[in-house]
Amino acid sequence: MIAGRRWALATALAGLGVVAAGAPPPGVPTRPAWIPAAGVARLAARLLDAARPPRCRIQLEMYELGSVGLVGDLLAARRRGCAVQVTVDGTEGQSVMSASRLRRGGVDVRLARLVGAIDHVKALVVDGRAALLGGVNWGTESGDTTDADLYLPDDPILAGRLAADFADPGARVTAAAQGAEALTGPAIEAAFTRLVRRARGTVLLLANYCTAYAVQDALAAAAVRGVRVEVLLNRSAYGAGGAARWLSAHRARVRWATGPYLHAKVLLTAGGGLVGSANWSYSGMAFNRELDAEIPGPVLAGAWAWGSAAWARGIPA
């Protein structure tokens, strides 16, 4: 699962028909790309607008769905004759309201109501080829955060493996594509510790929440053995003070985020990275329905530039 060798991934969305690859819509990347939060809604709108009959299918799983514009784009695609399926978390207020509007417009909508957990996934698949997933919600202010998504323009194998997951939004995400796993639950923690344990040079972590002891311990151990560990934390988040003190005591370089609200859950190392919906917390890696992906090699440079700039803007803890 090293980035660059096994970068294709699965999402928790399902049942897409595979279509022949064609020219991408204007303004849409032709290769795997790192998409900062400010550009996610624009890219999503272009992907939705480009979906055309007779074989267009759109599937979305989104924790917070409140963008009036993107809900309108989903409805417009349905009116054009596209098959549109949407799963949202049944406890999130904006999402429940958007679900009602989508249902009235003929969209197949499912509310995920999990016991003691939430459906925290943020992922879109269009026409069985293009996938957009990561940490960015489709809320009214989601573009004004420090966060990012991963865009994969052509991965047709991922779509055919996902029907069971989409049919049961209360289940764990389990699908896989092209030999690469969709990272969920304990697999996210395992991938995190593996990447950090193997890291050389620099490790960069952007964390809205960083309360999982396994995550903190892996970063501390890397810093003690001489890896440059750079951590950007959200000062207002639960447990941030304790995490900062522990990591700083073990030679990590911790900063408080400035600028747009830090909503990211991103790990970067020279050998690969992680991006997705799961916070670096116990609930994020044990209970919630989450989806993370290992970052493909072609995207790492853009991810590093974005993440390093955010860390550099921070205030030393």
Other beta carbons within 10 Å of 31: 12
Q: What is the pTM of this model?
A: 0.87
What CATH architecture does domain 33-180 belong to? Answer: 2-Layer Sandwich (3.30)
Contact predicate 233/253, CB 8 Å: no
- pLDDT per position as a tens digit, 150-168: 998 886 655 444 444 555 5
Reading the chain (317 residues) residue by residue, the pLDDT tens digits are: 323 323 333 333 333 233 334 566 788 999 889 999 999 999 999 999 999 988 898 999 999 999 999 999 999 999 999 999 999 999 999 999 999 999 999 999 999 888 888 999 999 988 877 889 899 999 999 999 999 999 988 866 554 444 445 555 544 443 333 323 446 667 889 999 999 999 999 999 999 999 999 999 999 999 999 999 999 999 999 999 999 999 999 999 999 999 999 999 999 999 899 999 999 999 898 888 888 888 878 889 999 999 999 999 999 99
- For strands 176-177 and 180-181, give the pairing: antiparallel
Are 303 and 229 in contact by the 8 Å Cβ rule? The answer is no
- Backbone dihedral region of 148: left (phi > 0), alpha (psi from -120 to 50 degrees) or beta? beta
Q: Tell which CATH architecture fits domain 186-316.
A: 2-Layer Sandwich (3.30)
3-state percent helix, strand, coil for the chain, nearest multiple of 5: 35, 25, 40
Could you tell me which residues come within 8 angstroms of residue 225 by beta carbon, excluding any fewer than 6 positions away?
A: none
Residues of the chain with CATH 3.30.870.10: 33-180, 186-316
CA 270 to chain centre: 20
